[in-house]
Chain A
Amino acid sequence: MKRSIRLRVALALAAALAAPAPALAAWTRGFAVEWYEPAMYYGAKSGTTEPGTDCPAGTNPEPDWIKVLIDAGYTREQALWLRNPANPTRSPVHGQNQMAFRGAGRANVYINPTSTPDGGLVGVSGDIGEGLDLDDDPTTGFVSPTGERGIDNAFYRALGCWKTFRGPPRLSSGALSSNDAMRDGAWTMVVVLEGRGQDPMNDDDVTVGFYLSQDKLVKDAAGGVAPDYTFRIKPDRKLEAIFKARSVNGRIVSTRPMDEVWMRDAGMARELQLLKARLDLTLQPDGGLSGYVGGYRPWKPVYDGYVRARGPVIEALTWVRLPDVYYALRRHADYSPTGPNGEKTHISFAYRVSAIPAFVLTPDAKRSARATSYKALARPEDSAPEPSPFNVVDGIVVPKGAKAESLPESALLPPSSTTAAGGAP
């Protein structure tokens, strides 16, 4: 094709992608996400770890780390020495690197989870769950708290008794820590609702877009996030999720599943791919928007995210043997993108989302944003990965340039370590 024609075609394509959709929108509304977390129904009546219909034995208890180390081949004496905080193998910030090398032949269990047997992570045994019906089959899945059948959320089934996820809304430790970071400005997700009818409360043709913004959330004096701030959409080549839906009395429900959408994960995985994605959101009297967004997410990146967040730290703080998480996800994975006989690389999942009114603008800040795609406007440098504050290699923190390794004597000799600058650990 002649170069000038190619150019013209490229320009036309760019124009078509960049310009608002030809169809006119009669109304748009903007929102900023002020909280989102995996939808994990809490079945106890109080507290955050009590026995309940979801987890009759309560939240999974702390592993007996002495036993874990003995099972991995250390003597009891060595195991006790390793776990004593007075001894230098314990970093107050990074936990204990020795925990990594407890696989067969001193393998690193974080990157080789199958080098250690499946400890059998206790999952949810109840029938009630939150989320969405992803397979249009009311016989598979949970019953929602309001009685809807067919809620597909195998992620919840697998991991719902794990301490980091368990708890009433907004009170699980995992949700607290990641939303705190978001609300302090680590990232921002915005939502654009757009409809062709006259009334957002009732409209057959609604488009919902989830995007990133480079503008930070602003906290207010009462501890919440202040509404009515302006956010520009930050185009991203990957992280964008657009849904077609219908609004009935303010409840906005997907009219069809979207093949593939992406958004910023509210957890360690960082990027979330959802296949066959749907949503179910409700416009609130105070102008906000809340409900569920879900689909089938790849389960391995979930595990990898925890490994990258320093395996020993995750294990110690969330009371889990990380390889068990790998096994549990693998066991409960319920979707294969290549068809019913393919490997089940994905697992059903949903977020609870809450968003407040905001002004969402086009990336150039000139106009109100439409719920259209902005991927074409993304520049390569915009998708730089978020830097990690630590040098994590194979799941543990090691000095820069070093490998993650365990030597035969490492049980008893402290690995070389650096103290932080300034004398402040």
Chain B
Amino acid sequence: MSQRFNRRSLLRGALGGCAVTLGLPALDLFLDGHGQAWADGKRLPVRFGTYFWGLGLTDTPAGGSRWVPTTVGPDYEITPELEPLRPVKDKVSVLSGFRVIGDGRPNLVHWTGHAAILSGVAPAAINRMDGPSFDTRVADAIGGGVRFKVLDASASGKVVSYSTRTGSAFATPDTTPVELYTRLFGPGFQDPNRPDWTPDPSIMLQQSVLSAVTDQRQALLADVGRADRVKLDQYFTSVRELEQQLALGLERPEPCESCAAPPEPEAPKRGASIDVVNSNTRTMAKLLAMALACNQAKVFNFVHTPGASETYIPGESKIYHQITHDEPTDARLGYQIETSRLAGLVMEGLGAFLTELDAIKEGDGTLLDRTLVMAFSDTGYAKIHSIENIPIFLAGGAGGRHRTGQHIAGKGEAVTRVSLTAQQLVGVSVGEFGVGGMRTSRPITELMA
């Protein structure tokens, strides 16, 4: 008998026509992550990652932009700075116009932007966040059951991570491809396709929790009238579903079809120029993607270049950070030429990263289809340290939950809406995110399948 439940049918009380409802809103916001799994009969996890790059993308004070698509909704057109995303465009949603609302806290340059995106509140001090970064909540919710709860990597050679549980101590990333390779595929690598797998012992304890509830079922239903019986029946059906999910955990998982330990990468060139950073990005992306495919981890944080990025075009004497501030807007073209050129080069890093995730086959799609990557920066228009119009991308299908390929115009709304949406897309149990003026309980429903 098919195990597929049709979640879109209306419910009417099966007995006597009394209307019993489930109180679901017009859009089904409660995304069940297992529809896809059951259809294939396998357990395929959803992965989540953050991708950070420094110095935003290029706007102009006069109101133009080198990156914001002109149309809103699906099928947005590729703008000059988004060119490197063209190969994966349909799997990437672009979010423009979102800003940090600081509630009077000063804009700590090259820090407030992404600290607010990650922790939900404008920070009080530089290099500190006022709460945990939300990737830790995602790791707690979905990152368990595998070798690494979370992976942190940095491509610019700098020891920089924005993942924190306490707001003051940040994770320590791997900063070279060789380091990352050693951690993932060196000694300790757990081949998921090995024959000696054993189930997680805590599952049986969870089953005991639920059986203490279902034990009462007979007694409860004996005491109840018709309408309430239907309600309680539904409740117990919901409990049964969770029991079945747990039961799956006791079964041996399907082999990871694409997992193959890769060869060790070469020792990298040292340097912070953009070509080296992008090359590291591609190599590390390959390693991360294979680690996900081999079920070594489900959550990662990647920093391409840090906040006040000091990358530069090889051979030039000015670093990106300085160029964003001192290059004037070209009078004829209306934007900063060198800045925009560097922004495009930086975006090549993101394009390469996503392409590597997309290159691994999984199920009837790719690894990227079962991942959600939230890519974001520290500022909007870097010249003035603007924390408005901070570029954010949501890439990857999140196991079918993310309606990809759309441009969403935030119109001055808080960046926390995007953070909330990302968390809900990967199944974190969270109803609201953010503090004060950025507190929101409204995810971006257009992006949610």
Contact = CB atoms under 8 A, between A and B. Distances in A.
Q: Do any beta carbons of A and B sit within 8 angstroms of each other in the complex?
A: yes
Contact of B306 (A90, A176, A318, A424): A424
Contact of A85 (B128, B317, B411): B317
A93 interface: yes
A117 interface: no
Given A48-B328, A49-B331, A50-B331, A85 B310 contact: yes
Contacts of A389: 126
Contact of B61 (A86, A92, A171): A171
A85 B312 contact: yes
Contact of A425 (B169, B170, B308, B312): B308
B135 to A, nearest CB: 15
Contact of B319 (A85, A216, A319): A85
A180 B328 contact: no
Contacts of A50: 331
Contacts of B318: 85
A184 B326 contact: no
A424 B168 CA distance: 11
Contact of A181 (B107, B127, B128, B170): B107
Contacts of B104: 184-185, 216, 218
Nearest to A66: B317
Interface string A42-58: 00001111100000000
Interface stretch (A243-251, A279-287, A415-423): A415-423
Contact of B102 (A185, A316, A319): A185
B258 interface: no
A174 to B, nearest CB: 11
Nearest to B311: A85
B214 interface: no
Contacts of B101: 219
Contacts of B431: none
Interface residues of A, number: 41
Determine chain A's interface SS by DSSP, over half rule.
loop
Given A85-B317, A181-B106, A424 B61 contact: no
B437 to A, nearest CB: 9
B104 to A, nearest CB: 4
A83 interface: yes
B271 interface: yes
Interface string A381-425: 000000001000000000000000000000000000000111111
A376 interface: no
Contacts of A186: 106
Nearest to A425: B306
Contacts of A380: none
B234 interface: no
A386 to B, nearest CB: 11
A146 interface: no
Contacts of B127: 420-422, 424
Contacts of B173: 423
A163 interface: yes
Nearest to B158: A425
Interface in B275-325: 306-310, 312, 316-319, 321-322, 325
A92 B164 CA distance: 24
A83 B128 CA distance: 31
B80 to A, nearest CB: 20
A317 B106 contact: no
A229 to B, nearest CB: 11
Interface of A: 46-50, 59, 62, 83-86, 90, 92-93, 163, 171, 173, 176-177, 180-181, 184-186, 216, 218-219, 221-223, 316-319, 389, 420-425
Pairs of residues from A and B, 7 with the lowest C-beta to C-beta distance, nearest first: A47-B331, A92-B310, A185-B104, A216-B104, A49-B328, A422-B127, A422-B170
6 contacts: A85-B319, A176-B61, A221-B411, A421-B168, A422-B164, A422-B169
Interface of B: 61, 101-102, 104-107, 111, 126-128, 158-162, 164, 168-170, 172-173, 271-273, 306-310, 312, 316-319, 321-322, 325-326, 328-331, 383-386, 388, 411-412
Given A176-B384, A219-B101, 12 more contacts: A47-B328, A50-B331, A59-B328, A85-B317, A86-B272, A163-B328, A184-B104, A185-B106, A216-B104, A423-B158, A424-B170, A425-B306
